[in-house]
Amino acid sequence: MDAPQETRWLDAEERQAWTALARTLVRLPAALDAQLRRDAGISHFEYQVLSLLSEAPDRTLRMSALATLAEGSLPRLSQVAARLERLDYLRRTPDPTDGRYTLASLTDQGWAKVTEAAPGHVREVRRLVFTPLTETQSRQLSEIGQRIMHAIDPGE
């Protein structure tokens, strides 16, 4: 067994950056969720699901692919899909090419909901994320996010 590595503690600047990022990771999703619930009656995750389906060919994806794209587990997506189905925003059907899979398809009502919710969501994203930043900082934010995601998943 390898000897344990000595911990390289964060310096003051790294601690400050980490604290700012950690707070953002908690508070930004909550703020986006609150806006969508207030203005559209759906959660941020539900909006993501509808939005991803709206951009898919034929507005349809396998549930497993949708879960991956939405960064959610299949059980969580199944619960959300059941709610969205009750609201007639999506429909689940067996995949005709392989019955082991289930397809999620955006209904016309789901399309209407996501197109109704999108402008307010985009305004909130702009207000919370892009308005406080310069153009250079926005580009840096994109690069930072990509680098962190690559560290998490090198294939990303």
Report pLDDT digits (tens) over 75-106. Answer: 999 999 999 999 999 999 999 999 899 999 99
**pLDDT above 90 coverage of the chain, percent:** 94
Average pLDDT, the chain: 95
Report pLDDT digits (tens) over 9-36. Answer: 999 999 999 999 999 999 999 999 999 9
Residues 39, 123 contacting (CB under 8 angstroms): no
Residue 156 has pLDDT above 70, yes or no: no
Quote the pTM value. Answer: 0.88
How many alpha carbons lie under 13 Å from residue 147 in its C-beta half-sphere?
A: 6
Residues 25, 126 contacting (CB under 8 angstroms): no
As beta bridge partners, residue 61 has 104
Q: How many CB atoms lie within 10 A of CB 112?
A: 12
Q: What is the pLDDT of residue 2?
A: 67
Q: Which domains does the chain have, with CATH numbers?
A: 29-152 (1.10.10.10)
What are the backbone dihedrals phi and psi of residue 104, each rounded to the nearest 5 degrees, phi first?
Answer: -115, 130
CA distance 49 to 77: 8
